[in-house]
Amino acid sequence: MGRKIVVALGGNAILSKDASASAQQKALLDTAEHLVKFIENGDQLIISHGNGPQVGNLLLQQAGGSTPENPEMPIDTAVAMTQGSIGYWMQNAMNRVLKEKGIDKTVATVVTQVEVSPDDPAFTNPSKPIGPFMSKEEADEAKAANPEFTFVEDAGRGYRRVVPSPKPINVVETKAVNTLVDAGIVPISVGGGGIPVVTENGNLEGREAVIDKDFASEKLAELVGADALIILTAVENIYVNFNQPDQKKLEHVTVSELEKYIGEDQFAKGSMLPKVQAAIDFVKATKSEAVVTALDNIDGFINDGSGTIISAD
């Protein structure tokens, strides 16, 4: 039996500049062409994905059209809505590519709740970027139209809305995901970081937040007993001194080496840092390897082991 792997897709695998449904479906078809290579390699695949652009756009659309008779939905419900829509597109894309390749495999989306602590300090310190990048002028206009929103500069690429981003402590549907894997089905889970819920009086209740997809993917990988966590992003490797004359790519790196680089502020908070931290968490919890590489480097990773491979000390 092949390795059980959780593959976490970055937002660039779904949406670039064109936010239309057709453009995102086309992007996911391209993404599926790459992901199916893991199945061809004999791996047991579990897919996770981000939803920052999609949920941000949905919240802005709702805020712009909200009325007392047709009010906007809370963030946790918007996360569930984008889990469903992206999962629908991804299932269809994967099924189409699998059919073309003659592979008999079912893909199913799990609407996934991810438990967080009600006392997580993130609820009083919004930090998770969602929605489109904006100029300063566009962000000011959006703030004027939605005074309750918070906007910050994100990784030198423009301004984005930020919302609370609590850390995951449990994935409620872990057993369902493993049951699907055992049945030979490819699950799509913790979409957009999962629907944030807390336990109150023995029941699960949603919270207004967006969980980082890399941390949710790590928690899922840990709980399902994955053999590897593979985080796919826009670059083939993690770099130190990124975009500097002495830029250096990391190929094989240990947890302690990455922690040293974090101490040097080598990784951008809005982009690479959470990926590095999630990889470290997975390796520490499981002693298995984590990988950070690009979607279009899957062949290189499978055949040559290229990418950044993070291992225990």
Query: What residue has token string 């840092």?
Result: 273
The answer to whether 156 is a known catalytic residue is no
Q: Is 168 helix (H, G, I), strand (E, B) or coil?
A: strand
Radius of gyration of the chain (CA): 19
Q: Which of 113, 116, 86, 117 is nearest to 195 (CA)?
A: 113
Catalytic site residue from 213, 219, 237, 307: 213
CB 231 within 8 Å of CB 290: yes
Catalytic site residue from 4, 275, 297, 307: 275
Catalytic site residue from 11, 158, 206, 300: 11
The answer to whether 136 is a known catalytic residue is no
Query: What residue has token string 């009600």?
Result: 118
Residue 265 identity (one-letter amino acid):
D
Pairing of strands 248-250, 238-240: antiparallel
The answer to whether 4 is a known catalytic residue is no
DSSP one-letter string for 20-51: SHHHHHHHHHHHHHHHHHHHHTT-EEEEEE--
Catalytic site residue from 56, 128, 194, 307: 128
Residues 242 and 70: their CA atoms lie apart, in Å, by: 47
The answer to whether 275 is a known catalytic residue is yes
Instruction: Calculate the dihedral angle through the C-alpha atoms of 72, 74, 80, 81, rounding to the nearest 10 degrees.
Output: 10
The answer to whether 213 is a known catalytic residue is yes
- Cα–Cα–Cα angle for 230, 233, 237, nearest 5°? 80
Q: Which of 184, 297, 284 is nearest to 233 (CA)?
A: 297
**Residues catalogued as catalytic:** 11-12, 128, 213, 275
